[in-house]
Amino acid sequence: MSEPEDRTVVVTGGAGYIGSHTCVVLLEAGWRVVVIDNLDNSSEVAIDRVRELTGADADRCAFVEGDIREPADLDRAFAVGDAAAVVHFAGRKAVGESVDHPLWYYDHNVGGTVCLLEAMQRHGVRDLVFSSSCTVYGEPEGVPITEGMRVGAQSPYGRTKLIIEEMLADVAASEPGWRVALLRYFNPVGAHPSGRIGEDPVGIPNNLMPYIMQVAVGRRDHLTVNGDDYPTPDGTCIRDYLHVVDLAEGHLAALDHIDRLDGAIAVNLGTGVGSSVLDVVHAARAATGQPIPYEVGPRRAGDVVAAWADPTAAAELLGWRATRTLDEMCADHWRWQATNPAGYAS
């Protein structure tokens, strides 16, 4: 088997939040990276910062501005090097937007993945790591959540993830050689400890951590806590927050252990620890030194009460375990937010 130094991976959506962190980890491990991204929800500055952090030039960290729904764009990315594998992040990810514009989601996420798989077939690539989500569990059967629990999405976004998972299983069953990791992420937060790359949401953040950090930096007055009358110890919803660098390392682990996968296998990537909305507020206050005022508002429609992972399969199959704490997630997210108050436009 060739050394990572000789191997090229195509990273779709590699300019985005999780993709940029994963590119850093892959480059540091010796992979050559080819990013294809249409910059729909990201900035090319992220690629410059990935190169700056890793010392990679435009050859080791190549960038193709293109759309995964366009076969010619994909062919340009595969033509850069002899790809051994694909890590597939590209897609749209906002639940509310998916309810208002479902066809965008079926087009980018499902249609885009069909085009990607056809390109992989054209170029003889059979190893794939896919960004799935714990949203596929809907309101979970129980916690901690294991991969064998019932799936059932509650939004068009979630359904695209389930459809793609099933499509990948069908493709992997249809011909030998496919090795596909369906990574079901829990709640990625935080940023690279350098503060040079991080999450750069467009408009008002939907998600808790970016919203809290924009309050801390003074871009927003206060946080609205979406309900405090849930059946949890402090009445607020519980999630499994996961440092984005741990998550990025999960992708490297999946590539390193891909020979253990026969067909398409779903694996949870989470810490196994649940934190409430107020736990996150308290940790963020400590990390930022800012008061982070909040008001309690109504429940958010469709919110799951409590979701955290059983990460055993990731440890057994991929040799991966999250190691970073909620305090580190907040400290690193804050470093990024404080030094880039307007994101990459700062």
Annotated catalytic residues are 157
Binding status of residue 38 toward ligand NAD by CB under 6 A: yes
Q: Are strands 127-133 and 241-243 parallel, antiparallel or unpaired?
A: unpaired
Stretch of 182-190, 208-216, 262-270, 285-293 lying at the interface with ligand NAD (CB under 6 A)? 182-190
Return the residue nearest ligand NAD (CB atom): 16
Binding status of residue 239 toward ligand UFG by CB under 6 A: yes
* Binding track over 60-99 against ligand NAD, x by CB under 6 A: -------xxx-------------------xxxxx------
Would you give the DSSP letter of residue 44?
T
Q: Which of 43, 206, 232, 312 binds ligand UFG (CB under 6 A)?
A: 206
* Binding track over 115-134 against ligand UFG, x by CB under 6 A: ------------------xx
CA–CA gap between residue 227 and residue 285 (Å, rounded): 20
Which alpha helices (H) appear in 175-276, and where do they start and end?
208-216, 244-256
Report the residue number, 127 or 200, with the smaller CB distance to ligand UFG. Answer: 200
Binding status of residue 40 toward ligand NAD by CB under 6 A: yes
Which long-range contacts link 124-127 to residues 24+ away (Cβ below 8 Å)?
125/10, 125/78, 125/83, 125/84, 125/85, 125/86, 126/177, 126/178, 126/179, 127/84, 127/85, 127/86, 127/179, 127/180, 127/255, 127/258
CA–CA gap between residue 192 and residue 324 (Å, rounded): 12
Binding status of residue 322 toward ligand UFG by CB under 6 A: no
Report the residue number, 194 or 206, with the smaller CB distance to ligand UFG. Answer: 206
Q: Which of 223, 269, 306, 309 binds ligand UFG (CB under 6 A)?
A: 223
Q: Which of 44, 48, 70, 303 binds ligand UFG (CB under 6 A)?
A: 303
Secondary structure (3-state) at 62: strand
* Binding track over 43-82 against ligand UFG, x by CB under 6 A: ----------------------------------------
CA–CA gap between residue 281 and residue 279 (Å, rounded): 5
Both ends of the chain: CA-CA distance in Å?
Answer: 43
CA–centroid distance for 166 within its chain: 19
Sign of the Cα pseudo-torsion (316, 320, 321, 322, in order):
negative
Would you give the DSSP letter of residue 173?
H
Binding status of residue 211 toward ligand UFG by CB under 6 A: yes
Q: 245, 25 in Cβ contact below 8 A?
A: yes
CB of 201 to ligand NAD, least distance (A): 8
Contact residues: ligand UFG, CB under 6 A? 93, 95, 133-135, 185-187, 206-208, 211, 223-226, 237, 239, 277, 300, 303
Give the interface with ligand NAD as residue ranges (CB under 6 A).
13, 15-19, 37-42, 67-69, 89-93, 108, 112, 131, 133, 185, 187-188
